[in-house]
Amino acid sequence: MNPRTATGKTRAATTTGDSHMANKVDATRETSTTSEASTTSETGTTGETSATNEASATGEASATGEGAAMSSSNLPLIIGHRGASAAAPENTLAAFDRALRDGADGIEFDVRLARDGVPVVIHDATLRRTAGIDVPIASLSSTDLAAIDVGSWFNRRHPDRADAAYARETVPTLARVFETIAPRCRVLYVELKCEAGEITTLVERVVAEIRAHKLERRVVIESFTLAIVEAKRIAPDVRTSAALQRRPTRPLLLARTLFKHARDYHADELALSRSLVSRRTVEAARARGLQTVVWTVDHPSWYGRARALGLHAIMTNDPARMCAARDAFQ
């Protein structure tokens, strides 16, 4: 999942209902590769004291009906972040297929609008990183994007994981993902990527695809921005997730701020970067009817921690590794 636009893969966070700030943050968070998350040390994160000490702060957020996206047991779901992006080129059908073959319960991916108004699955606002072409996604039609190689970069960057078939991977439409991948998923997290003026159009197009494929109970719409407010207005029956992370400009992100953010955004879930996850924060979120998801973690020790904390789901670039940890518990 992760939030970078043209300069990095780490998720950027909005802390209030300020749409201008939210969209500004969203526009600066989409460049680095998924491999960065897996190289970061993830074993000792405990959640910061400011979030822990404020976990009982006020601020309510109501949750809607549970649906099939909810966990049927106390075991956290394992979600492939942009698919199995440690093993295959991110946000491609190959990555999604690999995640599910590796045992993931579902996938997370990014959606933005092509020039013809069709929702397409790609993280960055341009093709520079994944296709070597510095062209905005919004300037190309979905047909154009379906002919552009967005897999070869992975082979060059990760020769030990290269596969000649990846060179045939192109930018899929949301409809194609729903048609070919969704039947095998327990849940799909759809992260919205858009500028302020595109929010309503993107939400309407995404919701139309969700309804056309009858996925209302298996899709969670996620965003760092006010887009999820619009999603809840247009489709109150579809679950939403407010994504947050600690920002350099405000490292002490208090738990009360998290809950106010969720309340203002009418979210059903909190998707927290690992530094924001602590027992008291998770318990306080649960008391407010919010499920908690952690992103993006690859170290297998996170499975045991997530299970002990009662997290709803784990987003990981490496589902195979996380599923092996799950299997060890069982």
Which region among 9-13, 43-47, 88-92, 183-187 has the lowest average model confidence (pLDDT)? 9-13
Render pLDDT for 272-329 as a digit per residue (tens, 0 to 9). 999 999 998 999 999 999 999 999 999 999 999 999 999 999 999 999 999 999 999 8
- Please answer whether residues 262 and 61 qualify as being in contact, where contact means their C-beta atoms are separated by less than 8 angstroms: yes
Structural domain count, the chain: 1
Q: Return the percentage of the chain with pLDDT > 90, whole number.
A: 69
pLDDT number for residue 219: 98
Q: Which residues of 244-283 are buried (b: 16+ CB within 10 A; e: fewer)?
A: bbbbeeeeebbbbbbbbbbbbbbbbbbbbbbbbbbeebbe
Q: Tokens 């341009």 label which residue?
A: 126
Domain of 266, CATH number, reads 3.20.20.190
The one-letter amino acid at 254? L
Band (249; pLDDT cuts 50, 70, 90): low
Q: What is the pLDDT of residue 233?
A: 97
Residue 228 lies in a domain: yes
Name the H helices within the chain: 19-26, 35-39, 49-53, 93-101, 128-131, 142-145, 152-157, 174-180, 199-212, 227-234, 255-264, 279-287, 301-309, 319-329
- Residue 60 lies inside a defined structural domain of this protein: yes
Whether residue 308 is contained in a domain is answered as yes
Residues 4-37: tens digit of each pLDDT:
433 333 333 333 334 333 333 333 333 344 433 3
Q: What is the domain range of residue 306? A: 19-119+178-329
Structural domain contains residue 4: no
Whether the model clears a pTM of 0.75, i.e. scores above it, the answer is yes
Residue 148 in this model has a pLDDT that exceeds 60: yes
Domain assignment present for residue 138? The answer is: no
